[in-house]
Chain A
Amino acid sequence: MDVGAMGREAQKYVWEGAIPLQIHLHESEVTTLPHPSPALVLAPRMGYLPLLLPLLKPHFSSTLPPGVDTIWFEYKGLPLKWHIPTGVLFDLLCAEQERPWNLTVHFRGYPGNILTPCEGEDSVKWSFINSLKEAAYIVNGNCKNVMNMSQSDQVELWYSVLNGNMEAYQRVSSKLKLEKVGDQYVGKPNSNLLKSRTNTGETDTGGPVKTDKCFTLRDAVKALLPEFFVEKTLIDEEISRIELEEESRAPSDDESNTRNEEDVEEKQRENVECCCPSDDAVTKLKLVRIQGIEPKLEIPFSWVVNNLMNPEHFLHICVCVKVPQAKPSPHDT
């Protein structure tokens, strides 16, 4: 099978990927006996949880208290950010890949102090389009291609995401001319994952010599999380976890771009409280998960981006790191 065909097959798997959910209505919203059974739903990886409302409402409507529906989800007490794709939430929060994934749904009492407001499909669509514009801005320096989309193309694009229709999506998104990432090599001065030097006035004159070594997934993760690749003295450690989410967009393959700019957007959210690692401890990358798989870190990054990115043109990399806990001092009681 040639490389192109393998890539297309990978994209198909990703688009067809889904998370089996077992959704329980929160106790406080159950007004009838017996308790309703949980809803069993196959949620597309590339989709968003609020879009499940049409499936869930009929299942629970007879037991809900009176009021206006403002759907939101939680996992083990953590309210889930609705603008993050379902697959990413699962990869991030469920290190052990629980199947089915047990979530709790609420139709009332939206936690406005924790979650940004969501008024149904329109909010999700707005968030999606803006993420796409953000990606376009990073790749092209402007988002004219998205803004100039015809109304019917925009509708078709959104519906292709809503329905998980890869062919329709690719038909419309190809009009955006968001270039596929070309192969990149370590040492090229326009590697777009390096921090901007313009603020300090330095230029990247001492760039590494260009080699034939392909820019791999490992290189990308290392550029984004250099602190997890430093080997220090090994000490006895117990494992505690920080789960970080990173989003990095597809780097531009524009050869004439000689600016060194940090175009990668880094978002780190700690979902678990953890003490700071001591200086002479080892912090290691435990796993890197993309679209539910743990790709070999040797894979060329361009392949990962082109085939595993989400429809809004962001590549979501979920990282699990091993951090040593501080050892109690001899004087602790």
Chain B
Amino acid sequence: MASDSPSSARKVVVHLRATGDAPILKQAKFKIPGTDKFAKVIEFLRRQLHRDTLFVYVNSAFSPNPDELVIDLYNNFGFDGKLVVNYACSMAWG
């Protein structure tokens, strides 16, 4: 499927990882269109966890701007074919 899609529909595998006392999702891996903004990932997490206050990070390091494209984040910070996104209910990494 991935090889037949035009580049504009290329999807990125996002691996959602709970941090601290954040609830663990039943399904933690998702495919999302690369052209989507990171805001979509944040929104998805908010809906799934029924929480408005969430801190979302990439590679346990920094919080990307919600405007950034998922494909850009994957190209620069992804590894092993996926983008690791950590979420916490309180500020985890300063």
Contacts and interface: CB of A to CB of B under 8 A. Distances in A.
B49 interface: no
A134 B39 contact: no
B6 interface: no
Contacts of A138: 76
A142 interface: yes
Contacts of A81: 67
B30 interface: no
A262 B76 contact: yes
Chain A interface SS verdict (over half): loop
Interface in A141-158: 142-143, 146-147
Nearest to A126: B63
Contact of A83 (B67, B72, B77): B67
A133 B61 contact: yes
Nearest to A117: B66
Nearest to B37: A116
Nearest to B81: A199
B29 to A, nearest CB: 18
Interface in B40-76: 59, 61-69, 72, 75-76
Given A137-B59, A147-B93, A130 B75 contact: no
Interface string A283-299: 00000000000000000
A11 interface: no
Interface string A254-279: 00000000111111000000000000
A46 B69 CA distance: 24
A262 B75 contact: yes
Contacts of A267: 68-69, 72
A147 B94 contact: yes
A143 B82 CA distance: 20
A116 B63 CA distance: 14
A305 B69 CA distance: 24
21 contacts: A81-B67, A83-B65, A83-B67, A116-B66, A127-B65, A130-B62, A130-B65, A133-B61, A133-B62, A134-B62, A137-B59, A137-B77, A146-B94, A147-B93, A199-B81, A262-B76, A263-B76, A264-B76, A266-B72, A266-B75, A267-B69
Interface of B: 39, 59, 61-69, 72, 75-77, 81, 93-94
Given A126-B63, A146-B94, A267-B69, 20 more contacts: A83-B65, A116-B67, A130-B62, A130-B63, A130-B65, A133-B61, A134-B61, A134-B62, A134-B64, A137-B62, A137-B77, A143-B61, A143-B62, A147-B94, A199-B81, A262-B75, A265-B72, A266-B75, A267-B68, A267-B72
